[in-house]
């Protein structure tokens, strides 16, 4: 017996669905192209906006922590009389010049580090100082850090343009603008004077560029112990810098930390409210675009299948008279909707991928580097294809139900 005789036959519904699609080649082509364009737009816009948002987030958060833990703010408090009237005798104002430090910061650090959402916690001793160079002086912002943990939040080694990011007990890192203003470079000495009266000399081990002229003019990084000695903090720190695993959950984590520890916790979402609003608006716009494109694809598939039901009503009636069940007729049209959407989805994923490659090649900065990196996430294509197929099946449901409910006698008579 030949292989043809043994070859398994395709299910009846598949045979009829493919025959209907072949007979309406022009309709099939138009709807597949329409679905492909829609899916291509969704893939391209989703990847483009994801890359844009990721680039914005990376630029904003690459030079700062997600959450900053600060000591509780000093508040104005009334001083009451000791008599029964409890009269307000005077008002005690908080001291303005006092440097506030985090109480029991080591215990707070350990407590926060145990949270599953937290990645890194590092102490920072920050304050103001004067850089003295001959007869010149310049006010700077000093940050004392632990390099091992701080570089996991802000990777200064990637921002070094000269020298290295080494921070031993006598080293200091300064910005490019400050180095230019003071006419110093790697290997030179730098004298720092603080309000505590301490004057210390450090060796410039590296010059960095944070991508911001103001930050490069005033930022100076010291080892933590050196900054504590310079600023007169006696082993204390002024803040704890925290990064979390999900940057968009930073505010929720900050509120939990504040409730558990009593310190003030400021997340980047709260500190950069306008920027976060812009990111949220972009996300909402992307979802709206995808929704309306998907809606247009669904209506396109549904309209084509409605026309097919009208055109093939006689054939459907004959099939029903031959004993084909309503469920089988429904499956025929659901298969058509799924095949149209799946075929268009595959073509759309290819179109979207090619458009992203073209964008990356054409959209360039002045120095020839890509405008911003795009991630070709396979999950995006898989989800787009799955959503397109499900949309096609849903769009085909109403025409399929209508076809299944046709009366065979009426359909055959026309």
Q: Is the pLDDT of residue 5 over 50?
A: no
Band the pLDDT of 389: cuts 50, 70, 90: confident
Across 229-326, the runs of DSSP E, i.e. the strands, are 239-244, 264-267
* pLDDT confidence of residue 208: 92
Average pLDDT over residues 252-257: 91
Structure tokens at 253: 């984590």
Single pTM value for the model: 0.66
| Cα–Cα separations (whole angstroms), residue 139 to 106, 181, 202 | 30, 12, 16
**Distance between CA 39 and CA 381 in Å, rounded?**
9
End-to-end CA distance of the chain: 44
Average pLDDT over residues 348-358: 89
**Distance between CA 210 and CA 179 in Å, rounded?**
13
* pLDDT confidence of residue 390: 87
How distant is the alpha carbon of residue 286 from its chain centre? 13
Across all residues in the chain, what is the average pLDDT?
82
Structure tokens at 103: 């109480």
List the alpha helices (DSSP H) in 81-202: 105-113, 147-150, 176-182
Query: What's the burial of 224, exposed, middle or buried (CB within 10 Å: 0-12/13-18/19+)?
Result: buried
Task: Give 54-103 pLDDT, tens digit per residue.
Answer: 777 777 777 788 898 988 765 555 555 555 555 554 555 555 545 678 88
Average pLDDT over residues 220-245: 91
Per-residue DSSP letters for 208-274?
Answer: E--S-HHHHHHEEEEEHHHHHHHHT-TT--SEEEEEES-GGGHHHHHHHHHHHH-SEEEEHHHHTHH
Band the pLDDT of 171: cuts 50, 70, 90: very high
Q: 373 or 163, which is more confident?
A: 163
Q: 161 or 55, which is more confident?
A: 161
Report the candidate in 20, 4, 265 with the shortest Cα–Cα distance to residue 118: 265
Task: Give 24-38 pLDDT, tens digit per residue.
Answer: 788 888 888 888 888
* pLDDT confidence of residue 96: 53
Q: 120 or 282, which is more confident?
A: 120
Average pLDDT over residues 2-10: 46
* pLDDT confidence of residue 223: 93
Percent of the chain residues topping a pLDDT of 70: 88
Q: Which residues does residue 141 pair with via DSSP β-bridges, in sequence order? A: 128, 219
The kind and range of the H/E element at 161 are strand 160-163
* pLDDT confidence of residue 2: 42
């Amino acid at each position: 017996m030949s292989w043809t005789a043994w070859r398994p036959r395709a299910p009846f519904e598949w045979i009829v669905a493919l025959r209907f699609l072949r007979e309406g080649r022009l309709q099939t082509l138009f709807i597949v192209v329409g679905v492909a364009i829609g899916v291509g737009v969704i893939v391209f816009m989703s990847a483009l906006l994801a890359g844009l948002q990721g680039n914005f987030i990376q630029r904003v958060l690459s030079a700062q922590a997600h959450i900053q833990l600060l000591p509780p703010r000093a508040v104005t408090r009334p001083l009451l009389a000791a008599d029964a009237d409890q009269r307000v005798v005077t008002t005690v104002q908080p001291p303005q010049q006092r440097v506030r430090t985090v109480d029991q910061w080591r215990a707070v650090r350990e407590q926060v580090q145990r949270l599953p959402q937290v990645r890194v916690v590092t102490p920072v001793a920050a304050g103001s100082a004067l850089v003295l160079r001959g007869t010149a002086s310049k006010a700077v912002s000093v940050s004392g850090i632990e390099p091992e943990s701080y570089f996991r939040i802000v990777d200064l080694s990637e921002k070094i343009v000269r020298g290295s990011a080494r921070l031993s007990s006598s080293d200091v890192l300064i910005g490019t603008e400050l180095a230019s203003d003071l006419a110093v470079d790697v290997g030179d000495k730098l004298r720092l004077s603080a309000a505590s009266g301490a004057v210390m000399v450090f060796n410039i081990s590296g010059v960095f560029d944070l991508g911001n002229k103001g930050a490069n003019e005033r930022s100076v990084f010291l080892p933590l112990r050196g900054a504590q000695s310079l600023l007169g903090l006696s082993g204390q720190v002024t803040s704890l810098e925290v990064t979390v695993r999900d940057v968009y959950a930073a505010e929720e984590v900050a509120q939990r930390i504040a409730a558990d520890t009593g310190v003030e916790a400021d997340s980047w979402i709260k500190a950069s409210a306008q920027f976060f609003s812009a990111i949220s608006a972009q996300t909402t716009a992307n979802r709206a675009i995808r929704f309306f494109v998907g809606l247009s694809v669904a209506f396109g598939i549904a309209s084509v299948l409605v026309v097919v039901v009208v055109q093939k009503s006689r054939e459907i009636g004959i099939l029903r008279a031959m004993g084909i069940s309503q469920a089988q007729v429904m499956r025929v049209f659901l298969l058509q909707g799924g095949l149209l959407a799946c075929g268009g989805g595959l073509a759309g994923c290819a179109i979207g991928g090619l458009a992203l490659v073209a964008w990356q090649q054409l959209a360039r900065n002045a120095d020839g580097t890509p405008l911003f990196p795009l991630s070709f996430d396979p999950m995006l294509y898989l989800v787009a294809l799955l959503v397109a197929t499900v949309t096609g099946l849903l769009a085909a449901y109403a025409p399929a139900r209508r076809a299944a409910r046709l009366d065979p006698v009426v359909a055959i008579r026309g």
